[in-house]
Structure 1
Amino acid sequence: MTREIRYQLIFEGKASPEDDMGTRMNVEVEAILQPGMVEADVAGGAANARSIAVVENDEYGGFSESGEIVFGGGSLTYTSTGAPHLGPSPDPAVQAGHVVFKVERGTGIFEGATGFITSAFTVDENARVRDSQSAVIFVE
C-alpha cells in the first residue's frame, strides 16, 4: 500500500558563495516543525527540519539545486527539475524565485520515497533565504 505524506514548511537560513563568482552557492536553512504542518512520525520527535543544498547559478537567472532535507523521522534527497528562476522583486533589496524539486530517494520513514516539493523563496541583500515549501511525497 502506498502512503502519501504532505508537508508545508517555511525554511529560513543563509546562502554562502562557494566560489568568487557566486555561481556555486551553499544554502543552509531550517524550519520549525509545527503540529499540523507535518505528521508526528515525520517529525520523529524533532523540533526542526534542516536542509543543506548546493545551488549552481547561470547567467540568465536560472539555476540547478540538489540537496537533502533531514527530519527527525528520516531524510529526503532531491534535485531541481523544470525551469527554476530567480530574479528581481518589488523590493530592490530582495530577489524572488521558484523551483520544483524531484524527490530522488529517502531514508527512515521516507525509505523508497518519490514525489515533488514546490518552493517559492526569497534571498535578500545579506544572503538571508526564506523558502516556503509544499510537498507531496509517496512511500511504498
Structure 2
Amino acid sequence: MINILVLCTGNSCRSQMAHGYLNQFTDPEKIRVYSAGIETHGINPGAAAIMKEDGISIDHHTSNHVDEYVHVNFDYIVTVCDHANENCPYIPSKNAIRLHHNFFDPSKVKGTEEKRHEAFLRARAEIKEYFKRFVEEYQLA
C-alpha cells in the first residue's frame, strides 16, 4: 500500500480538495490518502461546495492534526501552503518523497458570493491540475 499525506495549515480547504482529487485519481486498493494540518479548522463549506460541483464529495472528510498520523510511514508528503511547509513538525517517514506547492488560498478572499465562488474555482482548478500531473508523474494511477 502506498501512503500519501497532503498537509496544509488547518486541513480545511486546499488539503481537503487535494485529498478528494487523489481519491478520485488513484486506486483505493493500492493508494491510501491522508490529509492533515498543523492545526485543525474543520471542513471549509466553500471547499465542500466547490468539490461537489465537480462531482466529488468531501463532506465525510474530517479535519485532522498531523500528529494523528505519526505511526504511518508515508511514501509521499505534499505540503500545499507555505505556512505548513515552513512550520510543519518533523514527520518520521522513512524515504518519503517530499513535495511542496503553495496553492492560492480561496478562504482568504472576501467580497461578494460571486467573487468568493470564483476564488474557489481558481483554487480547485490549480489543485486538480497539479494532482493529476502528480499521479501521472509518479505512476500512481
Question: What is the TM-score when the length of structure 1 is the normalising length?
Answer: 0.29
The structure that is strand-richer by fraction is 1
User: Highest Rg: 1 or 2?
Assistant: 1
Higher relative contact order (Cα pairs below 8 Å, separated by 6+ residues): 2
Q: TM-score, normalised by structure 2?
A: 0.28
